[in-house]
Structure 1
Amino acid sequence: MQKFCACECYYTDNIFIEEYKLHVRFVSEDQFRKDYQHILRSQGCTTGPQLHTVLEKVQAEVERRKNIAVQSAERRATIKETYKPLHENVYRLQESHLAPEFLEIVKYCHMDGANEKGLLALLTTEAAPRVYRFPVFTKDFCRDLVEELEHFEQSDAPKGRPNTMNNYGVLLDELGLDEGLVGPLREEYLRPLSALLYPDCGGRWLDSHKAFAVKYAVHEDVELSYHYDNAEVTLNVSLGKDFTGGNLYFGDMRQVPLCETECVEVEHQVTRALMHRGQHMHGALPVLAGCRWNLVVWMRASCQRNHLCPMCDARPRLRPAPGHGGGFTAEPGQEGTCALT
Structure 2
Amino acid sequence: MSNEEGGNPQFYFCDCFTTDNIFLKDYKLHVRFVSEQQFRLDYQTLLRRLGCVTEQQFEDVLNKISQEVDRRRRLGVASAERAAAIKDVYHPLHPHVYRLQESYLAPKFKQIVEYCRSPGASEEGLSDLLEEEAAARVYRFPVFEKSFCEELVEELEHFEQSSAPKGRPNTMNHYGILLNELGFDEGFITALREHYLHSLTSLLYPDCGGRCLDSHKAFVVKYDMNEDVDLSYHYDNAEVTLNVSLGKDFTEGNLYFGDMKQVPLSETECSEVEHRVTEGLLHRGQHMHGALPISSGQRWNLIIWMRASRERNKLCPMCNKRPTLVEGEGFADGFTKHPDAPLNASCVLT
Written as runs of structure 1 = structure 2, the 5 A alignment for 1:7-18 is: 7-18=14-25
1:152 and 1:123 map into 2 onto residues whose CA distance is 34
2:303 is matched with 296
2:148 and 2:37 map into 1 onto residues whose CA distance is 51
Q: What per-residue deviation string (whole Å, max 9, x for no partner) do you get for residues 202-250 of structure 1? A: 0010000000000001010000000000000000000000000100000
Q: Does 1:167 align with 2:161?
A: no
Contact 1:245 1:286 in 2 (8 A): yes
2:192 is matched with 185
Q: Does 1:59 align with 2:72?
A: no
Q: Does 1:157 align with 2:158?
A: no
2:316 is matched with 309
2:297 and 2:187 map into 1 onto residues whose CA distance is 30
Contact 1:304 1:336 in 2 (8 A): no
Displacement of 1:336 in angstroms is 4.8
Displacement of 1:335 in angstroms is 4.1
Written as runs of structure 1 = structure 2, the 5 A alignment for 1:92-131 is: 92-131=99-138
Q: TM-score, normalised by structure 2?
A: 0.95
Q: What per-residue deviation string (whole Å, max 9, x for no partner) do you get for residues 108-149 of structure 1? A: 111111110010011144352100000000001100000000
Q: What per-residue deviation string (whole Å, max 9, x for no partner) do you get for residues 50-85 of structure 1? A: 000000000111111000000000000000000000
1:247 is matched with 254
Q: What per-residue deviation string (whole Å, max 9, x for no partner) do you get for residues 18-45 of structure 1? A: 0000111111111111111111111110
2:208 is matched with 201
Contact 1:127 1:133 in 2 (8 A): no
Displacement of 1:10 in angstroms is 0.4
Written as runs of structure 1 = structure 2, the 5 A alignment for 1:139-158 is: 139-158=146-165
1:43 is matched with 50
AA of the residue aligned to 2:264: P
AA of the residue aligned to 2:278: T
Contact 1:11 1:62 in 2 (8 A): yes
2:121 and 2:151 map into 1 onto residues whose CA distance is 33
Displacement of 1:330 in angstroms is 2.0
2:5 is matched with none
AA of the residue aligned to 2:252: G
AA of the residue aligned to 2:27: Y
Contact 1:125 1:134 in 2 (8 A): no
AA of the residue aligned to 1:9: C
Gaps of 5+ in 1: none
AA of the residue aligned to 1:5: Y
Gaps of 5+ in 2: 1-7
AA of the residue aligned to 1:310: P
Contact 1:239 1:271 in 2 (8 A): yes
AA of the residue aligned to 1:139: K
AA of the residue aligned to 2:176: G
Query: Which secondary structure does the structure 1 equivalent of 2:47 belong to?
Result: helix
2:100 and 2:29 map into 1 onto residues whose CA distance is 38
2:326 and 2:179 map into 1 onto residues whose CA distance is 23
Q: What per-residue deviation string (whole Å, max 9, x for no partner) do you get for residues 287-324 of structure 1? A: 10000000000000000000000000000000111100
1:229 is matched with 236
Contact 1:9 1:311 in 2 (8 A): yes
Computed over aligned residues only, the root mean square deviation of the Cα atoms, in angstroms, reads 1.2
* Aligned CA distance change for structure 1 residues 103 and 110 (closer, same or farther; 3 Å): same
Q: What per-residue deviation string (whole Å, max 9, x for no partner) do you get for residues 155-178 of structure 1? A: 111000101000000000000011
2:76 is matched with 69
1:47 and 1:301 map into 2 onto residues whose CA distance is 44
1:107 and 1:216 map into 2 onto residues whose CA distance is 34
Contact 2:177 2:219 in 1 (8 A): yes
Displacement of 1:2 in angstroms is 1.5
Displacement of 1:179 in angstroms is 1.0
AA of the residue aligned to 1:64: R
Contact 2:133 2:273 in 1 (8 A): no
* Alignment: residue pair count: 339
Q: TM-score, normalised by structure 1?
A: 0.97
Contact 1:166 1:214 in 2 (8 A): yes
Q: Percent identity of the aligned residues?
A: 66
1:148 and 1:13 map into 2 onto residues whose CA distance is 34
Query: Which secondary structure does the structure 2 equivalent of 1:122 belong to?
Result: coil
1:4 and 1:61 map into 2 onto residues whose CA distance is 22
2:168 and 2:111 map into 1 onto residues whose CA distance is 35
Query: Which secondary structure does the structure 1 equivalent of 2:154 belong to?
Result: helix
Which one of the candidate residues 125, 134, 155 is aligned to 2:141? 134
